[in-house]
């Protein structure tokens, strides 16, 4: 029997919108989806490599940890260059596991946008630093990371000899094809491999995520252990009422059928902000196609209760909410008593700040439910690598089931190419002349 999952799902505040009868009616569909995943006959079945990553990566752990230790010893900073799935997972993990202000500045990020000020500031920041670079790109032709790698390489060539620079650049790319593989082999860079059957947004448990997470000093063995236990749990029980991963996927599907078309991932823990960013890509790219899908957004509470809270409480009722709830903070801070009680807060003196945050969560979820905003909660016992690995796999498996229930391929993203084609045309890339002329007319208002 698999270990009891470290995460738990609380759906009791969905009761007036989703009940056991609704979920049980989906059991035949769930069974069909699970069988198609197991037999690898589902849509996008050539991208199911992520299913086995927690086990598959065991043989590469020592190699990853050895190079990560070298980076930590010989540099001040690792520049992680990537966008989308090549970026979100590692940043989500490192932010989730780090202590703010006391924590982690070993890994910094480039290539996830084309902002000039950010890029130049980062390059200037590196002037007096010892640097390693990890370029994460299966193809090597994605514009944003390819562009900033060119800029960074130009800057570092004045800092290191060719041999030393080759030692300090590590790529994560395809095993045998693509521009980045050609660059890697020609320059003699070391590399990690992205397997062909793993898409970017499902790659956090591969070297794409594991290497920068290890450089940041975190336990990637524990991360994979949590993911493996969650994988075993996902596949051990196909009952939609008792398997929390299936219940989450099915509840979302039922809510979508009832015109709840936007999901808000909310958390009261600042360290989870980039988990929301990773989740938005995973769910947006996996489900949003064929004019279908739930729009994923996120909220950082209590901050956003003072901006979005009014809409969430009383606005249009096309929303539902999933809380990521951290059951206990790492540290304890007691609230002091103040003579004269000038701020009126002596009624909570002696209690902990975490206690206040927990009551804010409880108050919010019941207020939102009473206001007609259905919500459920994924409970996390603590912020550690094992819990995070379980959470990553929970969301990956759930979105696969959810996408297949919708009847879409959860593993492709054809719509992402549209902006790229327009950008290439406007930049003057050859073979885009007709598109460029059409776009220029639109920009001038002629069409």
> pLDDT tens-digit profile of 64-89?
999 999 999 999 999 999 999 999 99
* 247 is annotated as an active-site residue: no
State mean pLDDT over 255-280: 98
Average pLDDT over residues 265-279: 97
Res 103: pLDDT: 63
CA distances from 330 to 32, 269, 271, 273, 317 (A): 42, 11, 12, 17, 36
pLDDT above 60 (res 157): yes
**Are the C-beta atoms of residues 387 and 330 closer than 8 Å to each other?**
no
447 has pLDDT over 60? no
Give the mean pLDDT of the chain: 95
Angle between helices 220-236 and 244-257 in degrees, nearest 10: 70
Instruction: Give me the pLDDT at residue 56, please.
Output: 97
Q: Which residue in 292, 420, 441, 442 is the catalytic one?
A: 420
Residue 444 bears catalytic tag:
no
Question: Which sign does the torsion angle of CA 47, 51, 55, 57 carry?
Answer: positive
Determine the average pLDDT of the residues in 60-66: 98
pLDDT band at 282 (very low <50, low <70, confident <90, very high): very high
Locus of tokens 């000093």: 217
How high is the pLDDT of residue 431?
83
Sequence spans of domains, the chain = 8-41+223-406, 50-218, 417-443
Architecture, CATH, for domain 8-41+223-406:
3-Layer(aba) Sandwich (3.40)
91 band by pLDDT with thresholds 50, 70 and 90 = very high
Per residue in 229-263, pLDDT (tens digit) is: 999 999 999 999 999 999 999 999 999 999 999 99
Confidence of residue 1 (pLDDT cuts 50, 70, 90): low
pLDDT number for residue 424: 83
Does 217 score more than 60 pLDDT? yes
Residue among 92, 414, 111 at smallest CA distance from 272: 92
- For residue 136, the SS3 value is strand
**Hey, is 333 helix, strand or coil?**
coil
Domains 8-41+223-406 and 50-218 share a fold: yes
CATH topology of domain 50-218: Rossmann fold (3.40.50)
Given 221, 269, 277, 285, which residue is catalytic?
Answer: 285
Pick 339 or 445 by higher pLDDT. 339
Q: How confident is the model at residue 180 (pLDDT cuts 50, 70, 90)?
A: very high
Range in 48-52, 137-141, 216-220, 326-330 with the lowest mean pLDDT: 137-141
Q: Which residue has the higher pLDDT, 112 or 418?
A: 112
Residue 181: name the closest of 227, 217, 212, 135 by CA.
135
SS3 state of residue 165: helix
- pLDDT for 428 equals 84
Chain CA centroid to CA 115, Å = 21
| DSSP assigned state of 352 | B
Q: Which two tokens stand for residue 256?
A: 């979508």
State yes or no: pLDDT of 284 exceeds 70: yes
- Helical ranges in 109-243 per DSSP H: 116-125, 143-156, 162-168, 179-187, 207-215, 220-236
Q: What is the pTM of this model?
A: 0.96
Among the listed ranges 29-33, 333-337, 417-421, which one has the minimum average pLDDT value? 417-421
**Per-residue pLDDT, 439:** 82
| CA–CA separation, 62 and 335 (whole Å) | 45
The reply to whether 73 belongs to the active site is no
List 306, 434, 446, 447, catalytic entry: 306
Question: Do 206 and 220 contact (CB within 8 A), yes or no?
Answer: no
């Amino acid at each position: 029997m698999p270990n009891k999952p470290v995460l738990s799902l609380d759906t009791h505040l969905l009761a007036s919108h989703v009940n056991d009868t609704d979920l049980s009616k989906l059991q035949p569909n769930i069974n069909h989806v699970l069988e198609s995943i197991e037999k690898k006959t589902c849509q996008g079945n050539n991208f199911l490599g992520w299913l086995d990553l927690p086990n598959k990566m065991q043989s590469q752990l020592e190699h990853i940890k050895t190079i990560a230790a070298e980076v930590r010893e010989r540099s001040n900073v690792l520049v992680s260059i990537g966008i989308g799935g090549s970026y979100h997972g590692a940043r989500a993990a490192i932010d989730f596991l780090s202590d703010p202000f006391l924590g982690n500045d070993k890994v910094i990020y480039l290539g996830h946008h084309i902002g000039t000020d950010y890029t130049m500031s980062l390059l200037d920041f590196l002037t007096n630093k010892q640097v390693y670079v990890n370029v994460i790109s299966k193809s090597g032709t994605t514009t944003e990371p390819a562009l900033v790698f060119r800029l960074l390489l130009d800057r570092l060539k004045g800092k290191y000899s060719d041999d030393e620079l080759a030692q300090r650049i590590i790529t994560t790319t395809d095993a045998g094809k693509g521009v980045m593989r050609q660059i890697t082999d020609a320059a003699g860079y070391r590399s990690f491999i992205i397997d062909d059957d793993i898409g970017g947004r499902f790659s956090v448990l591969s070297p794409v995520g594991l290497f920068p997470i290890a450089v940041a000093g975190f336990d990637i063995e524990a991360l994979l252990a949590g993911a493996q236990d969650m994988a075993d749990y996902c596949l051990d029980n196909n009952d939609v009422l008792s398997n929390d991963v299936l219940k989450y996927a099915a509840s979302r599907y039922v809510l979508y059928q009832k015109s709840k078309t936007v999901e808000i991932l909310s958390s009261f823990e600042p360290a989870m902000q980039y988990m929301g960013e990773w989740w938005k890509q995973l769910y947006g790219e996996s489900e949003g196609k064929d004019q279908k899908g739930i729009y994923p957004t996120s909220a950082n509470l209590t901050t956003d209760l003072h901006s979005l809270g009014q809409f969430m409480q009383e606005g249009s009722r096309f929303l539902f909410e999933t809380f990521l709830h951290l059951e206990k903070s790492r540290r304890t801070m007691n609230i002091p008593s103040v003579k004269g009680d000038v701020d009126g807060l002596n009624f909570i003196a002696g209690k902990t700040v975490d206690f206040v945050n927990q009551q804010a969560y409880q108050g919010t979820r019941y207020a939102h439910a009473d206001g007609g905003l259905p919500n459920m909660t994924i409970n996390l016992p603590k912020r550690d690598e094992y819990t995070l690995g379980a959470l990553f796999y929970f969301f990956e498996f759930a979105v696969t089931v959810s996408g297949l229930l919708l009847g879409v391929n959860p593993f492709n993203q054809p719509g992402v190419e549209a902006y790229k084609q327009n950008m290439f045309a406007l930049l003057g890339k050859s073979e885009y002349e007709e598109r460029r002329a059409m776009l220029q007319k639109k920009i001038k208002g002629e069409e």
